Amino acid sequence: MITDPFFYLCAIPAILIFGLAKGGFGGGIAVISVPLISLAMPPVQAAAIMLPLLIMMDAVAVWSFRGKWSAANLRTTLPGAIMGILVGAFTFRYLSDDAIRILIGIVSVVFCLNYWLQLALEKQAQPSLLHGSLWGSLAGFTSFGIHAGGPPMSIYLLPQKMEKTQLMGTFAIFFAVVNLVKLIPYTWLGQFDKTNLLTAAVLMPLAPIGVRFGYFLLHKISEQLVYRICYFFLFVVGAKLLYDGAVSMLY
């Protein structure tokens, strides 16, 4: 088990932030978690420790939003997500975390700027097999590497302007399936050694706390504010990922 105090200083807020995102504020802010833990260890190990915790969070989120999800959107995104995970598994050794960060960062920032510059546009998007497959596969791929599937799914789901609990319920079911599927390649690649599993077990009690707190906050604020928060965090995280990836590749 990891005993470094600095690791826990990074890991505890990272887990609570991820839970908060799953409970009430979409996937954007959750992208902060793996980079935060990566301050104390390699990103690959950080992702391995996080996965069992995410599955626990998913279980709490699915129960919290039970019956409140969009079946149409799950049908259009999950097959592509599974393909994205497979691509991630077989290209794992060739993946660059920085390249993934730059890709997610560019797409997220451009998406948010486009939204803010066209606020007068009232057209509401609808579930689409083409768009759902595209963003679902990208979400599966980026989720496999650094648990960063939230921004691609936000780009697909937010323009549909669903009721806030249905939006979060759709996120919950999508990532519950994605994270369970990821167990297979993570095990195959040998990422669940004793150290990672014991460390995840010690941190496990924190997993439901953030989710339930996010769920509590979701029911205390307006739907409009929920969407504003989602777009804001998506932009901030996208800009941070873009910056981090570019700086790391340059230096």
Closest CA to 84 of 22, 149, 32: 149
pLDDT digits (tens, 9 = 90+) for 168-226: 999 999 999 999 999 999 999 888 999 999 999 999 999 999 899 888 888 888 867 87
Concatenate the DSSP letters of all residues of 49-98 into one string: HHHHHHHHHHHHHHHHTTT-S-HHHHHHHHHHHHHHHHHHHHTGGG--HH
**Tokens in use for 95?**
């993946």
CB 134 within 8 Å of CB 76: no
Instruction: Give the model's pLDDT for residue 210.
Output: 87
**Which residues in the chain come in under a pLDDT of 50?**
120
Q: How many CB atoms sit inside 10 A of residue 122's CB?
A: 7
Looking at residue 212, its amino acid is: R
Instruction: Give the model's pLDDT for residue 84.
Output: 95
Instruction: Give the model's pLDDT for residue 158.
Output: 85
Instruction: Give the model's pLDDT for residue 180.
Output: 97
Q: Which helix (H) or strand (E) holds 8?
A: helix 5-20
pTM: 0.82
CB 75 within 8 Å of CB 133: no
Instruction: Give the model's pLDDT for residue 169.
Output: 93
